[in-house]
Structure 1
Amino acid sequence: MKKTVMITGADRGVGFAMCRLFAEAGWQVFAGRFLDYWNELDELKEEFPETLELISLDVSSTDSVQKAVLQVQEKTDCIDMLIHCAGIARADGDDALRKILQVNSVGALRVAESFLPVMRQGMKRLCFVSSEAGSITVAHRKDGYAYCMSKASLNMAVKLMFNELRPQGYTFRLYHPGWVNSYMGGDQKGTSGKYEPEDAARTAFQQFTEDRAWEDALVLTDVENQSWPF
């Protein structure tokens, strides 16, 4: 029986690259789609018509997340793995901080809580794409308050989920993809990063799918398979 994975932020960047890797590995992939005008997922669907399902999803909206769960339940009664990859680095307006938190940290908690009822069987693995920007111990930046605060908030949310759900058999991955040439700032792909989305996705796929002897510890690991304080 195929394993199933739900991936948020699947339109492009690391999320899209992970969709491809999981589909190629034979998983049933549910891709959370936010950008209707971005056609890369449509093209990937043509390559994997039987194993890739496109799910409309705005992680900042409780209504959208609940509808996404219903869409997934029409196709399967079990999600083995949930990957929260959706993220933004900036937003416009006076409420920019709220918008970023709603996606990067509150959105992660919202999605995880909503999908738990379809994760009680199977692999029971929750994966979150975070960042060194959220580490208080190694904080070195002098700006980007909203983004850094959102990732620190995400790390705390994951730790609390870990404390609650690990005794129930859930396993966790907290992942820092490195400085990626991504679309975090909008429709233009960055060019000054160290890694391409495919690089970060390959390491993520390995870390997310392999079991660990130390599942009882929550560790932030990165694209170079190094660990970080968070």
Structure 2
Amino acid sequence: MIEEKGILFILSGPSGVGKGTVRKALFEKDPDLKYSISMTTREKRPGETDGVDYFYKTKEQFEELIKDNQLLEYAQYVDNYYGTPRAYVEETLAAGKDVFLEIEVQGALQVKENFPEGVFIFLFPPSLEELKNRIINRGTETSDLVLNRLKEARKEIELMDAYDYVVVNDDVDQAVEKVQAIIQSEHLKRERIAKQYKKLLEAEL
């Protein structure tokens, strides 16, 4: 059978919803997934490795990649660029590996514009009250920042229509199981299977 191309999965949702926790738990259960390594212009920190923690670039190199449309998404924080390199994602997918991207909502919408064939999963809080409690329990936000994050979360939830699936993160293990079911179901979609068999039939003619 012809080797299947990998699928890009994008997990996104409001700040505090638990994207990182779900992604880490998912990777423990599914080690075949490849994490989308980000690119940055910030300095490498002690113990970090290029191509493992980040792809490190100069500001000039990064801006050249922006100009050449070589990033699926990017943003600028505190004078440094961060983004998702298109080449790494496409090469990994071509090798038949699924790529998983955990990202904020605005970045996910950029990816949707640049890579619409990706599968977009919105991680949803059980309630805004629970989201508020999770942000407060981090202990890293002032009361003003908590309010700002909740306002932003309301706006982001309204963008849910741009996604293919919604997973409520009430229980991490259950959320992971649902994401695994999405991955499996995407691989079983008729159009993906049909493409493989069409190539197989053509090869045998």
TM-score with structure 2 setting the length: 0.46
TM-score with structure 1 setting the length: 0.42
Q: Return the structure number with greater relative CO, CA threshold 8 A, min gap 6.
A: 2
- Answer with 1 or 2: which has the greater Rg: 2
